[in-house]
Amino acid sequence: MRGLLARRMKFHLLGAFLVSVGSAALYKFGVAEPRKRAYEEFYKNYDPVKDFEAMKAAGVLESAP
């Protein structure tokens, strides 16, 4: 029984580290990078003046003359 806690702690620390690194990598490549690409694609052809004019014509912006 001597040293049982230290042995088990090494195993669990290594496992926790690997799980946390794996989940961080999974989030980065599964969520963050596709989101960045979607934003880049959206703003590549985005015209804010045209969008403003469309909202003004629709009556969304009541304070804009």
Q: What pLDDT was estimated at residue 60?
A: 86
Cα atoms in the 13 Å half-sphere on the side-chain side of 19: 6
pLDDT tens-digit series, residues 24-37: 999 999 999 999 99
Residue 65 lies in a domain: no
Tell whether 63 is covered by a domain. Answer: no
Tell me if 17 is assigned to some domain: yes
Task: Indicate the pTM of the whole model.
Answer: 0.67
- Among the listed residues 21, 14, 22, the one whose alpha carbon sits nearest the alpha carbon of residue 6: 14
Q: Give the model's pLDDT for residue 22.
A: 98
| Domain count along the chain | 1
Question: Does residue 64 form part of some domain?
Answer: no
Tell me the residue range of the domain where 11 lies: 4-58
DSSP per-residue codes, 25-64: HHHIIIIIHHHHHHHHHHHHS--HHHHHHHHHHHT--TT-
pLDDT in tens, 40-64: 999 999 999 999 999 988 888 887 6
Task: Give the residue carrying structure tokens 């979607």.
Answer: 38
| Domain of residue 9, CATH code | 4.10.93.10
Flag whether 13 is in a domain: yes
